[in-house]
Structure 1
Amino acid sequence: MIIWLNGPVGVGKNIVAYELNRRLSASILYRPDNIGALLKKKLPAELLLDNFQDYPEWRQWNYQLLRKISLQTSQTVIVPMRLSNATYFDEIIGKLQAAQIDVRHYTLTATPEVIKKRLQKRGDLHNQFMLSKISTTDQMDSEIEFPTILDTSTLTVPEIADKIAKDCALRIKPAMKNKYAQGAMNFGDMIRSKWN
């Protein structure tokens, strides 16, 4: 099974992915942006694009790797990545589903105010790229029909993970009872997601 976490910049896809990965047995965290970083690092300047999702190779390689992992292991694969282009969505998620791979797609949403607070918490409130994306977070991408939309505005990270695991009928380990320990873990996950 693949659990794909979609949603706007700053909504919390990565931190929820880390939480799910930590609390689900036999799961792996798969980061499609690592393929984008590889392309940007290896391609000469004249071939570089602003958005790594625009590389056909990025879409093909992620599809192939996710297909291989899904068909050759029994692990739940957790993928935090915004996909808002319908063609790109079909080239990865659509093809995986056509290959009979169980893809559970969740779009996390939150109000712009909540997203600003989350960006501030992780030190990205002054990042102009991220701030430019906040204005559109209250509107869903019209090109894609999102099957499962999860409003995270009033939910904690463990609550979001619990809801997703329950919906997927997966057994999940209990969340930490100590809210300070949970907060420290989430903070560590935020730092890790920025540098992975």
Structure 2
Amino acid sequence: MTRELHENVCKDDTFKRLHELYAAELHNYLYYKYGETCNPDDKTQDAFITLWENCKKVAFSKARAFLYKVANNNVLNDIKHHKVVLRYRSEKPADITREDPEFLMQKEEYFRKYQQVLAKLTEEQRVAFLLNKVEGKKHEEIAELLGVTRKVVEYRIYSAFGILKEELENFRIK
């Protein structure tokens, strides 16, 4: 075994020698492979920082391969991140609406009236109606949950629907 294989990368003079040997070469490799947009200066420095942080685990003879692998992976991770950012930018954000402010105000007012009318319903009507229309449960399921017959559930839902229709203009529900 040669002295070079067992040389400690954590020693300052050894690390400086590695930097002198491979920094320019690694920079050029990244520049030629990925171009200036990958920021080869920073990726080279990041690779050497990672080598320093892992100096006890990396043998001197494996340091060059380690540096190239780390730098290449850093660039590929940045490219992957950039693709995610571009994909996110191309999608329309859900919180932007093209609706008229007046329509939004009317919608809020209608919802407030809807809440008031729901509050006027009896508890039995309100529970049956919301279980059916909001949670999407079938009449049979509601009957089992409430411990009543299916006909009672239907009556409660349809009577609640009638009250909502009377109190609110243009009330329609699917």
TM-score, scaled relative to structure 1: 0.18
TM-score, scaled relative to structure 2: 0.20
- Rg larger for: 2
User: More helix per residue: 1 or 2?
Assistant: 2
User: More strand per residue: 1 or 2?
Assistant: 1
